[in-house]
C-alpha cells in the first residue's frame, strides 16, 4: 500500500537538533489566518522520521492548527488562508498537483475526542482499507487483526469483533481509533491530544502504545500535559500565541531550555 520513504536528506538549519533522525515533515515560514486573525506566525520547523515529536504550549497557541496543516484538514474550514510551505518527504503538500485524498492516506490522524464510526469494531478498522478497494475477506481479516494487535486492543475485543464500536469504554474507543488509523499503514500519525479525555489508566495504556508504535510510524502529538510530553516524546516544540518559541530534544527542553519563556512554562509559572 504505502510506498517506501525517500532516503534521508541532510539539512543543517538552526532548528535541527544535533544527533537527529532524517527529516520527514518540514514547515518553512508557515503562517495561517482565520479570516483576519493570525493563528500561526511564521513557523519553521523540521520533524524527524520514526520519532515522537510533541507540541506543547498553553491553550489556543496554535498547536492543533499546525498539526492539522500536515494533513490539510484545515482545508475543511471556511475562510482559512496560509502562507509559506509545508513539505512532507520533500514535496510541497499544498501544491495543486497533490491529491489531498492520497495525502490523507499517508498521514493519519487521531482526534481528541474519540470518534469511532457507528459500525462494528471490525468494520471500523476495515473502513480505510475498503476505501482503497481491498475487499478480499482474508486480506481484511489479516489487516484488522494486525492493526488491533498493534493498538494493544486485540485481546480485549477478539471475541466481539462484530459488535458495535460504540460499546467500548472511552480508552478502548480511542485505541480503536488508533487501530483504524494505522490499518492503512500511513507513514505519519498525527495525534491531537489523544488522551485528554481519558482516565489515568487508559492514558497510560495509550502512552505505552505510542512508545511502541514509534518503531514503525512517525508520530507527532499535541498535548497540554507536559509530563506526558516528557514521558513519551523524543523531541518537543514549545508554542506560544502562534509562534514557535523553542524546539529541541525533549531532555534538553525540560531540563535546560534555552529560552526563559520555555523555562517559565515547563516549570509551571504560567500556562
Partner 1 sequence: MISTATATHAANLPRHGRRRFRAARIDWASLVGTGVTGFATLLIVTILAVILGNIVINGLPYVSWRFVSTGTATDMFDVNKAGILPMIFGTTARVILMTLFVLPMGVLTAIYLTEYARIHSPFTRIIRSAVNNLAGVPSIVFGLFGAGFFVRFIGHGMDSAFHSGGATVWGQPALLWASATLAVMTLPVVIIATEESLRAIPQGLREASLALGATKLETIIKIVLPQAVPGIMTGAILAISRAAGEVAPILFTGAAYYMRDLPKSLHDQFMDLGYHIFILSTQSPNVDKTRPLLYATVLVLLCLTFMLNIVAIFVRANMRKKMRMLH
Partner 2 sequence: MGLRRGHRAKPIEWLAEKLIFVVSLSAILIVFLIFIFIGREALPVVFGQMNTALVQKTIPVDQMDKLSPAQFQDYLGLTKEQFASMDRDTLKTLMELKIESTKESSTDKDASVNTAQWRYLLSPHRWTGYDAPKYIWQPVSNIPKYNIIPLIIGSLKVTIVALIFAVPIALAAAIYVSQLARPRVREFAKPIIELLAGIPSVVLGFFALIVMATVLQHIFRTQSRLNALCAGIALGFSVIPVVFSIAEDALTSVPRSYVQAALALGASKWKAASQVVLPAAIPGVFAAVALGFGRAVGETMIVLMASGNASIVSWHFFDSTRTITATIAAELGEVVFGSAHYRVLFLIGVLLFAVTFLTNMTADIVMNRLKIRIEGKR
Binding site for partner 1 (CB under 8 A): 71, 73, 76, 78, 101-102, 104-105, 108-109, 111, 113, 115-118, 127-128, 131-132, 166, 177, 180-181, 184
Give me 143's grid cell: 489487516
Q: Which residue has the cell 485528554?
A: 196
Task: State the nearest-atom distance from the C-beta of 93 to partner 2, in Å.
Answer: 7
**CB nearer to partner 2: pick between 6 and 142:** 6
Question: Do the bridges between strand 218-222 and strand 235-240 make them parallel or antiparallel, or are there none, so unpaired?
Answer: unpaired
Residue closer to partner 1 (CB basis): 33 or 127: 127
> Which of the stretches 10-18, 37-45, 102-110, 226-234 binds partner 2 when contact is defined by CB under 8 A?
102-110
Q: Does 103 bind partner 2 (CB under 8 A)?
A: yes
Task: Say how far apart CA 266 and CA 198 lie, in whole Å.
Answer: 22
Which run of H or E residues covers position 218? strand 218-222
- Residue 95, exposed/middle/buried by CB under 10 A (0-12, 13-18, 19+)? exposed
The binding track of 180-199 with respect to partner 2, each residue x by CB under 8 A or -, is: -------x------------
Q: How far is residue 59's CA from residue 240's CA, in Å, rounded to a whole number?
A: 9
The answer to the question of residue 97 lying near partner 2 (CB under 8 A) is yes
Distance CA 106, CA 22 (A): 18
DSSP 3-state assignment of 155?
helix
3, 78, 155, 159: residue in contact with partner 2 (rule CB under 8 A): 3
Q: Which residues bind partner 2 (CB under 8 A)?
A: 3, 5-6, 88-89, 91, 93, 96-103, 106, 187
Amino acid at each position: 500500500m504505502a510506498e517506501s520513504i525517500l532516503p534521508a536528506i541532510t539539512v543543517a538549519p538552526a532548528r535541527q537538533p544535533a544527533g537527529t533522525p532524517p527529516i520527514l515533515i518540514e514547515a518553512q515560514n508557515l503562517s495561517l489566518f482565520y479570516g483576519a486573525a493570525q493563528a500561526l506566525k511564521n513557523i519553521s520547523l523540521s520533524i524527524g522520521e520514526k520519532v515522537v515529536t510533541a507540541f506543547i504550549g498553553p491553550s489556543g497557541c496554535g498547536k492543533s492548527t499546525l498539526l492539522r496543516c500536515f494533513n490539510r484538514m484545515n482545508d475543511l474550514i471556511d475562510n482559512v488562508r496560509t502562507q509559506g510551505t509545508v513539505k512532507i518527504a520533500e514535496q510541497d503538500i499544498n501544491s495543486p498537483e497533490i491529491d489531498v485524498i492520497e495525502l490523507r492516506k499517508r498521514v493519519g490522524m487521531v482526534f481528541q475526542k474519540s470518534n469511532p464510526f457507528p459500525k462494528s469494531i471490525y468494520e471500523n478498522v476495515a473502513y480505510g482499507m475498503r476505501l482503497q478497494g481491498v475487499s478480499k475477506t482474508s486480506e481484511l481479516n489479516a489487516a484488522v487483526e494486525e492493526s488491533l494487535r498493534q493498538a494493544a486492543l486485540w485481546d480485549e475485543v477478539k471475541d466481539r469483533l462484530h459488535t458495535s464500536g460504540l460499546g467500548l469504554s472511552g480508552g478502548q474507543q480511542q485505541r480503536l481509533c488508533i487501530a483504524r488509523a494505522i490499518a492503512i499503514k500511513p507513514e505519519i500519525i498525527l495525534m491531537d491530544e489523544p488522551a485528554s479525555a481519558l482516565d489515568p489508566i487508559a492514558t497510560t495504556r495509550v502512552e505505552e502504545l505510542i512508545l511502541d508504535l514509534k518503531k514503525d510510524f512517525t508520530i507527532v502529538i499535541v498535548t497540554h500535559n507536559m509530563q506526558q510530553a516528557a514521558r513519551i516524546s523524543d523531541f518537543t516544540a514549545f508554542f506560544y500565541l502562534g509562534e514557535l518559541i523553542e524546539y529541541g530534544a525533549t531532555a534538553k527542553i525540560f531540563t535546560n531550555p534555552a529560552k526563559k519563556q520555555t523555562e517559565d512554562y515547563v516549570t509551571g509559572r504560567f500556562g
